[in-house]
Chains A and B, each alone.
Chain A
Amino acid sequence: MNALESISIAIDAVRSQKLRSSLTLLSIGIGVFAIIASTSIMSTLQQAVNGQLADLGENSILIQRTPTINFGTNWAKMRKRKNITYAQAQQFRDRMTTTQLISISNESPAYTIKAGLESTNPDVSLIGIDDQYFAVNAITIGEGRSFIESEVILNRRAAIIGTDVVKALFGQGSALGKTITIKNQEFDVIGILESRGGVLGQSQDNRVLIPITVFNRYYTSEWDASVDISVKAESKLTLESTFDEAVGVMRALRSVKPWDENNFEIDTNDAITGQFSGFSSALLIVAWISGLGALVAAGIGIMNMMLVSVRERTREIGVRKALGARKRWIVRQFLIESITLCQLGGLTGMIGGLGSSWAVTEILRGTMPSLSYVMPWGTVVFSIVICTVIGIGFGLYPAWRAATLDPIEALRYE
């Protein structure tokens, strides 16, 4: 009864002092919001980068229309960039001389795969690939085989599927030779990817690979029709010359004037990691410092609210003490109250933070289709813990003041 009573007193206190409470709760909310939103967005982006780096093998170069992680750059300009069409990518492949390991692919998230009566969640990545894909990327086939060149050219309805998809559709049974359906098109399963586990909670096995020609015909829309080109240099020594050649060939194919910047993204996997980690750690540090700062400020607000609450209820405290409440009962009552206040604010910030980071992810998908939202569970738990710690930390002094009131004085208080 007592804990519930303390919680309802806290909620009443919020109601009866609307302005002061809402400002205090707002600042807790802002603190939690900053921490949750920044961590969530960063994890989402990190996952996209890691996913891509995991796919990209050593000494590899990735060419895309827009960067996977897109910051500090002019968005309007990015959006104006022309797609890298499949035809253009094929021309690129034919013109490159320093390496023959070039693969053209495209990815589209969130498909539902069916087989008979079974179906997967609508979150499977569908990737269109060519016959070079496995030679260039750090992905291997566990069972079955890859596509051969003629299958890609002739639009063969064949698929190589990840182990998560196998499990969802066929359980423990074998998937090879079975038929799966993706948006009304049937595919024969000819290969199964080797399981790779997850990166940041996102499984790398939840994907289906099909020939890029089929992909282009059925599964692209205008905004994600641009393909990706992966280039693998023959060795570490030739990486630089391959990189330079790739830039030159792409510029020529896309008619970039000598004085203009590249109108495509080209990066080695090292460069991608470097760019991202510099950016993300700077942003996280700023967000966490301001978030924690807001929380400390909010803590002082909480302490003030609690001191008012103690003063307003002096007489009640006197009665409780007269009836035999020991110090720790009184302390406990007021701590529960201040923790409740903090959690109310924290919850608001959490909902706001999760909601807005989800929204930001959705917006970023416009230019980075491979993003998928990462729920920052660890940070959610951390926020609940930190709100409790602040409730205790800043509630302790008011609670102690209440507990050590002289019962005679308190009973006399008007």
Chain B
Amino acid sequence: MSQPIIEIANLVKRYEMGDEEVFALQGVTLTIGRNEYVALMGPSGSGKSTLMNMLGCLDTPTSGSYLFTGENVSDMDDDDLAEIRNREIGFVFQTFNLLPRATALQNVELPLVYSGMAREQRMQRATEALTRVGLADRMDHKPNELSGGQRQRVAIARALVTSPSIILADEPTGNLDSKTGQDIMRLFGELWRGGNTVILVTHEEDIARHARRIIRLRDGRIESDEVNPHAPLA
């Protein structure tokens, strides 16, 4: 396996729901290397979302260790987590989550604003990212002037623009028709072939089939972790 980006060992996440304790993750151990294409699957309640939040450094575990490119994430504070998300993780959401008032270009620039990059450089990088997802001619459009597929492309450009270590996509085709969904999946395939590490979170077999490796969760544990025999050739 290539150099690991994510190394998780015995990860446990416990929530308190009223008086009850809920174990969303009960000891997950997982390693993901550079330039992998992973699908994270599982029914609702499997701990899939919790694991995704952990991987995305949006949440910290109750116990266990999480090393992200060698850095210990488990006990970072909010601002350190924000910084690592900004630098290392590109999020793609099911509902796109673009800022409605900002243009495509401004949306893509946003992570660079938070990393403190100068304006000129920001514009240049954001323009490049939008060109890469095929939206060079839509940069000044606001989200409500774009189709669903185009919005998701803007979101992908926003995820790419910081050159993150991983792209974490949560049901990225969930709000798209199947043809547009296929276009978006083709784009993820291109990104992966271009050297990016892609983690898809999905409950759809059709979508997961694009990945090279499929990890299935059930009841807060990894049920299976195998190479996808149906994956399209690189």
Which residues of A are interface residues toward B (Cβ below 8 A)?
A: 1-2, 5, 8-9, 12, 315-316, 318-327, 329, 404, 407-408, 411
Report the contact-size class of chain B (Cβ under 8 Å from the partner).
20 to 34
Contact with A along B77-102 (1 / 0, CB 8 A): 01100110111000101000101011
Determine whether B113 belongs to the interface, using a CB cutoff of 8 Å to chain A.
yes
Interface flag for B53 (CB, 8 Å)? yes
How many angstroms from the CA of A324 to the CA of B59 in the assembled complex?
13
Given contacts A324-B82, A327-B78, contact A1 B58 (CB under 8 A): no
What 8 additional pairs, Cβ within 8 angstroms, besides A2-B113, A326-B83? Answer: A1-B106, A5-B101, A9-B101, A321-B82, A323-B158, A324-B82, A324-B111, A324-B114
B109 within 8 A of A: yes
Give the residue name and chain of the B residue nearest to A323 (CB).
B111
Q: Known contacts A326-B79, A407-B58: does B113 contact A315 (CB below 8 Å)?
A: no
Residues of B within 8 A of A5 (CB): 101-102, 106
CA distance A1 to B112 in the complex (A): 12
- Closest partner residue, chain A, to B50 (CB atom): A408
Cβ distance B26 to chain A, nearest Cβ, rounded Å: 19
Q: Is B119 an interface residue (CB 8 A)?
A: yes
A9, B101: Cα distance in complex, Å: 9
The reply to whether B85 and A322 form a contact with Cβ atoms under 8 Å apart is yes
Complex: how many Å from CA A329 to CA B110? 12
* 10 nearest A-B residue pairs (beta carbon): A324-B86, A319-B97, A324-B114, A323-B111, A326-B82, A324-B85, A326-B79, A407-B58, A325-B114, A322-B91
Residues of B within 8 A of A8 (CB): 101
Smallest CB gap from A315: residue in B: B97
Option from B59, B79, B158 in Cβ contact (under 8 Å) with A327: B79
B115 x A324 contact (CB < 8 A): yes
In the assembled complex, how far is the CB of residue A101 from the closest CB belonging to chain B, in whole angstroms?
74
A329 and B111 CA atoms in complex are apart in Å by 12
Query: In the bound complex, how far is the Cα of B87 from the Cα of A8, in angstroms?
Result: 28
**What are 10 A-B pairs at a CB distance below 8 A?**
A8-B101, A320-B110, A323-B85, A323-B91, A323-B114, A324-B114, A326-B79, A408-B58, A408-B59, A411-B93
* A324 and chain B: residue at smallest CB distance: B86
A1 touches B119 (CB 8 A): yes
Q: Give every chain A residue within 8 A of B119 (Cβ-Cβ).
A: 1
The one of B56, B87, B102 that contacts A322, using a Cβ cutoff of 8 Å: B56
* Complex contact B113–A411 (CB within 8 A): no
Question: What's the least CB distance linking A337 to chain B, in Å?
Answer: 13
Contact A324 B106 (CB under 8 A): no
Give Cα A324–Cα B101 distance, bound, in whole angstroms: 19
| SS class, residues of chain A in contact with chain B | helix
Assembled-state Cα–Cα distance A407/B56 (Å): 11
Pair A411/B97 contact, Cβ less than 8 Å: yes
Give the chain B neighbours of A322 by CB distance below 8 A.
56, 58, 85, 91, 97
Instruction: A323 to B112: give the CA distance in the assembly, Å.
Output: 9
Contact across chains for A324 and B93 when beta carbons are under 8 A apart: no
- B residues adjacent to A (C-beta < 8 A): 53, 56, 58-59, 78-79, 82-83, 85-87, 91, 93, 97, 99, 101-102, 106, 109-111, 113-115, 119, 158
Q: Which residues of B contact A9 (CB under 8 A)?
A: 101
**What separation, in Å, do the CA atoms of A156 and B163 have in the docked complex?**
90
How far apart sit A315 and B96, CA to CA, in the bound complex (Å)? 11
Chain A residue contacts of B78, Cβ below 8 A = 326-327, 404
Within the assembled complex, what's the spacing in Å between the Cα atoms of A407 and B102? 21
Q: Given known contacts A5-B101, A5-B102, A316-B99, is B59 in contact with A323 (CB within 8 Å)?
A: no
State the Cβ distance, A314 to closest chain B Cβ, in Å: 12
Residue of B nearest to A329 (CB): B114
Interchain nearest-CB distance for B73 vs A (Å): 14
From residue B106, how far is it (CB to closest CB) to chain A in Å? Answer: 7
- Name the residue on A nearest B88 (C-beta): A324
> Which residue of chain B has the shortest Cβ distance to A12 in the bound complex?
B101
Q: Report whether B53 and A408 are in contact in the complex, using a CB–CB cutoff of 8 Å.
A: yes
**Residue numbers in A under 8 Å from B102 (CB-CB):** 5
> Do residues B114 and A326 form an inter-chain contact, with CB atoms below 8 A?
yes
Complex interface: chain A residues within 8 A of B113 (CB): 1-2
- Residue of B53, B83, B97, B99 near A324 (CB, 8 A) is B83
Q: How far is the CA of A2 from the CA of B106 in the complex (A)?
A: 10
A319 CA to B119 CA in the complex, in Å?
21
Determine the chain B residues whose CB is within 8 A of the CB of A327 once the complex forms. Answer: 78-79, 82
Q: Which residue of A lies closest to B98 (CB)?
A: A319
Task: Chain B residues near A325: list those with CB within 8 A.
Answer: 82, 86, 114
What CA separation (Å) do A2 and B110 show in the bound complex?
9
Name the distance in Å between A410's Cβ and chain B's nearest Cβ.
Answer: 10
A408 to B56, CA, bound (A): 10
Q: A5-B101, A408-B59 are in contact. Are A324 and B87 (CB under 8 A)?
A: yes
Q: B192 to nearest A CB, angstroms? A: 22
CA A411 to CA B97, docked complex, whole Å? 9
How many angstroms between the C-alpha atoms of A2 and B112 in the bound complex? 12
B111: chain A residues at CB < 8 Å are 323-324
Which residues of B lie under 8 Å from residue A329 when comparing CB positions? 114
Q: What residues of B have a CB within 8 angstroms of the CB of A408 in the complex?
A: 53, 58-59
Which residue on B lies nearest to A313, using beta carbons? B99
Bound-state Cα–Cα, A142 to B78, Å: 73
| Residues of chain B lying within 8 A (CB to CB) of residue A326 | 78-79, 82-83, 114
Query: Which A residues touch B79, using CB under 8 A?
Result: 326-327
CB-CB nearest in chain B for A328: B79
Complex Cα–Cα for A326 and B78 (A): 8
Question: How far does the Cβ of B104 sit from chain A's closest Cβ, in whole Å?
Answer: 14
List chain A residues, Cβ under 8 A from B93.
319, 411
Across the interface, B99 reaches (CB within 8 A) one of A319, A404, A407, A411, namely A319
